[in-house]
Amino acid sequence: MTDELSRGTRTLDDVPAEDVAAVTFRYMRSAVEGTARLNLRLMAATASGQARGGDLYADQFLRWADLIASLRREEIIVLATLFREWTVFKGPGVNKLGAWAIAQEALEASEGMDTKTSDAYGTACLRTGLVQMATGSLGGGHSIFPTALLGEFVRLADIEGVLHRDKASLRTRPV
């Protein structure tokens, strides 16, 4: 947690003690319950992002913590890839729904995740409110696209950066 929190420009000393206590207890509860290391990193990065923005409040963090704890590693990878491809996509007009197909190609190339698998993880993310689905696009299929909530999550936690730091920590960990 301290690695992600140290990336912020503000410290926990700038946050009311009762909010720090609630955030810390929720984080520790997640750790005790066996939440994956990546998810714990994302929680810490989210707390840091909230503190950086001057609005680390327990109720807002608890909402994020519950959402983050429920994510599988593959879902996090799909969300990060989709958001990246969505933001750089230069499709026709304002229609960016083609970004999902590009994200799926990127997921296959980088993660070995075939289209059916990325569809499964992408649609599983519908439960979080981080993505939505448009049907009847791309020849009768569907596209998954990010919601404003995913944009907020990325702004707070830099999901892709956390994924890279998590992978790097795995390479440097003693066996």
Residue 161 lies in a domain: no
Burial status of residue 78 (CB atoms within 10 A of its CB: 0-12, 13-18, 19 or more): buried
Specify the pLDDT at position 95: 74
Token output for 146: 């990010």
Residue 164 lies in a domain: no
Q: Do 77 and 58 belong together in one domain?
A: no
Q: How far apart are CA 166 and CA 39, in angstroms?
A: 10
Residues 6+ apart with CB under 8 A from 54: 10, 14
Kind of pairing between the strands at 141-146 and 131-137? antiparallel
Residue 97 lies in a domain: yes
Q: Do 99 and 57 belong together in one domain?
A: no
Decide which of 70, 85, 115 is a domain's last residue.
Answer: 70
CATH number for 78: 1.10.10
Decide which of 26, 41, 70 is a domain's last residue.
Answer: 70
Specify the pLDDT at position 98: 87
For residue 137, give the 3-state DSSP assignment. Answer: strand
Q: Do 60 and 92 belong together in one domain?
A: no
Mean pLDDT by runs of 10 across the 175 residues of the chain is 52 73 92 95 93 84 95 98 94 75 96 96 97 76 93 96 91 65
Decide which of 28, 47, 70 is a domain's last residue.
Answer: 70
- Does this model's pTM top 0.75? My answer is yes
Q: How far apart are CA 76 and CA 78, in angstroms?
A: 5
Kindly list the distances between the CA atom of residue 161 and the CA atoms of 72, 84, 143, 153, 171, in Å, as whole numbers in the listed order: 17, 11, 25, 12, 16
- What domain range is 94 assigned to? 73-149
Q: Do 63 and 81 belong together in one domain?
A: no
Tell me the residue type at 78: V
How many residues in total does the chain contain? 175
- Kindly report, residue by residue over 84-108, the tens digit of the pLDDT: 999 999 866 557 888 999 999 999 9
Specify the pLDDT at position 125: 98
* Tokens 């926990």 found at: 12
Number of structural domains in the chain: 2
